Amino acid sequence: MKAGKDKVIAIHYTLTVDGEKVESSHDRNEQLWILLGHGQLIPGLEKAIEGHEAGDTLQVDVPAAEGYGERQEGQIQRVSKKYFPQANRLKPGMATALQLKEGGQRAVTVHKVGMSTIDVDLNHPMAGKDLHFDVSIGEVRDATEEEIQHGHAHAPGADAH
């Protein structure tokens, strides 16, 4: 079965940027489960995986524009510390998650820490960077109706919700 929209894939991956390893599913010894076609992967990686099958390995170079986008100037914003888990541990240059008022999170980089606020760069920490992925596809299957309704894959043995 080939990977494509509404297919669930299980992958192991290693991400490198400028020759340095950034993260790897191998470090957690756990595959990443993805529902394709639902915005769970950056566009360049998803496009490269489409059409591949379980057992395939691939090396994928994703330009910034097809990854986390180009860096945009003027994206510094002052935010109350209450929107950051563990705000008192943050230092300039650290990547962190900003809790959004409407729910969810956004990856940001700390620019400056004040007494009650934190200035953050709203560009994704990987914005403007070309990414290299080493990917091995462990499984490809049809998504269940529930997975399609939820918009994400359910790993085997995991509670759906």
The pLDDT, as a whole number, for residue 161 is 53
Q: Which residues contact 72 (CB under 8 A, 6 or more apart)?
A: 123, 127
Q: Please give the pLDDT value at position 28.
A: 87
Entry pTM: 0.82
Backbone angles phi, psi at 92, to 5 degrees: -55, 140
> For residue 153, what pLDDT is reported?
92
| Cα gap 107→80, rounded to integer Å | 16
Residues present in the chain in total: 161
* pLDDT score at 104: 81
Which residues in the chain land under pLDDT 50?
A: none
pLDDT for residue 146:
93
For 130-151, the pLDDT digits (tens) are 999 999 999 999 999 999 998 9
As given in the structure block, the two tokens for residue 158 are: 């995991």
Nearest to 84 by CA among 68, 69, 72, 100: 100
Q: Which amino acid is at 34?
A: I
Q: What is the pLDDT of residue 158?
A: 64
Task: State whether the Cα torsion 46-55-61-16 is positive or negative.
Answer: positive
Give the pLDDT score at 160. 52
Strand 57-62 vs strand 95-99: parallel, antiparallel, or unpaired? unpaired
